A and B are shown apart, each in its own frame.
Chain A
Amino acid sequence: MALSPVQEFFADFGELCRYMGRFFARFWRRPFEGRELLRQMDEVGSKSFLLTSVTGLAIGVVLAMQSRGTLVRFGAEAVLPSMLALSVIKEIGPVITSLVLAGRLGAGMAAEIGSMRVTEQIDALEVAALKPFHFLIVTRTLACMIMFPILTMWTDSVALIGGYAESYLASGMDYRIFISTAFETIRISDVIVDTGKTSVFGFLVGMVSCYLGFTVRGGTREVGRAAMRAVVGASLLILLTDVVIVRLSIMIFGDVGT
């Protein structure tokens, strides 16, 4: 009997949670696929480098351009670097970077693993006692968990450079003033929590995409559907989880300026 879309959603969510449990039960056990983990980190990192660089630059320049007019109207142009740094490091950098990576990696991982499923490559790993869960899911998810914060720091840095470039061209701001103003309201806990949360986003992107690819049944049409669902599912989970993390971080560390 075919499931309704609502039933299918809950069935998938339940199964996804089971896969997440399996990940935590197994990722620290043998076999350690170190070489595959490095290959996946390279796949996630180096191949997303240009994308995150362009994203960061666009964020920084656009944010600076759009904020400038408003701040000038209130005579507060001097706080532009500070506002820029807070916006980029606390929220825009981590979330936009993770969403961009979810689009690039989520679709790719779901499609790759889904293709391996329909061409029996996963069964081939299984019958050769090569533990496909470790080889395919654990490595990709760990790679995302490690590389998302690194790429986010890079995006944040490029965004601030872009913001400074815009400020320099618009008002000739000195870089020493920009740096000292930018970081005066940022706390170390902000950087750790808000960059660190992208590791959770990486976990979600890795698990959702690998799960949907791993459980593909049928033919190539289902592979395409899994890729699309991976992007949508991972993006929604990033946004929802962000709300929870921000709430928790305010409860634990207080808001900026408090």
Chain B
Amino acid sequence: MTTFQQVLTVLIAGAATVLTRFLPFFAFRNGAPRYIRYLGNVLPGAIFGMLVVYCLKDVDVLAGAHGAPEALGILVTGGVYLWRRDMLWAILAGTLSYMLLVNLVW
């Protein structure tokens, strides 16, 4: 993308965000339809699952390190989160261990 296209992309993402924040104040003043409420309850798990896959989309399990640094990084992140229940420590520990692995081991 050119810088102009990047700025445009950010503005489009901003418009999508603003839409989700303002819409209820215009469209759902008397409550949302049942199907929309169902989606609101059911979707978050699926969306964050999708985003995890999105983060791993360029990992090649057939070549290079076969995804080992990513797998170990996820284990450290998940393990620290289960242990401390603290999001920031988990992200810090997972990212640092991944950085050590890709810079020093693989």
A binds B: no
Q: Chain B: residues with CB nearer than 8 A to chain A?
A: none
Q: Chain A: residues with CB nearer than 8 A to chain B?
A: none
